[in-house]
Structure 1
Amino acid sequence: MTPRNADILQGCIVECDQPLSIEDLSRLCATEASCIVELVEEGILANEGEAPPVWRFGADAVRRARVALRLQRDLEVNLAGVALALDLLDEIERLRRRLYLGG
């Protein structure tokens, strides 16, 4: 018996300790490398390396870039607003962790 409306999902496991190139990050976020460059220039994404061809990103950059791109696309927030929103979301997460840990 096969379901009529079976969806096939594809995923990619990103290891936390393996750095991502700009090409990897742009592919995982379904965007152009130029968008990633803009996020770095605005200070939204942290990277290592001097120039885009040698930039390396941590696995947390995938989540941060996806949220940033969604804010831009869905809410039409400019890059400065995206940076502020992400900083506030990070602060909320820090405060929740602190509250959860009791101090």
Structure 2
Amino acid sequence: MAEAPEPITGVILDETTVYTLGELGQASGLDAERLVQLVHLGVLEPLEWHRERWCFSGHSVLRLQTALRLQRDLGVNPEGAALALDLLDELTALRQRTDRMERQLFG
């Protein structure tokens, strides 16, 4: 069994940067087939859905980093990683909403 590649590391300074499927593969060490699987599982979401023109946001890169870390460190399968990422996104949205409400109530 092949060892999982090291996850992408670094800080994305500009979330408006767009990555192609090839660039995402190069940065992550994953082949296109594995990236396509992660798209179908919901780990990655292309900005455009035409496969020959798929491109991804900086947020997708962060999701990929987290998915690979979950798989490597915790042994989570790709489906579980997709679920965990969705739950983490939901938690982040709820925290942002709570913060906005607190600012409105308490200035």
Q: TM-score, normalised by structure 1?
A: 0.75
Q: Unaligned stretches of 5+ in structure 2? A: 1-8, 103-107
Secondary structure, counterpart of 2:26 in structure 1: helix
Q: Count matched residues.
A: 93
Per-residue deviation, 1:14: 5.9
* 2:73 counterpart letter in structure 1: D
- 1:28 corresponds to 2:36: no
User: Is contact 1:26–1:32 with CA below 8 Å preserved after alignment?
Assistant: yes
User: Is contact 2:43–2:82 with CA below 8 Å preserved after alignment?
Assistant: yes
Largest Rg, 1 or 2: 1
Distance 1:33 1:69 in 2: 15
RMSD: 2.3
Identical-residue share of aligned pairs (%): 40
Q: Unaligned stretches of 5+ in structure 1? A: 1-9
Summarize the Cα distance change of 1:17–1:26 in structure 2 as closer, same or farther, 3 Å threshold: same
Secondary structure, counterpart of 1:102 in structure 2: helix
User: Is contact 1:45–1:65 with CA below 8 Å preserved after alignment?
Assistant: yes
User: 1:58-91 deviations in whole A, cap 9, x for unaligned?
Assistant: 1111000110111112211112211111111111
Aligned to 1:75: 74
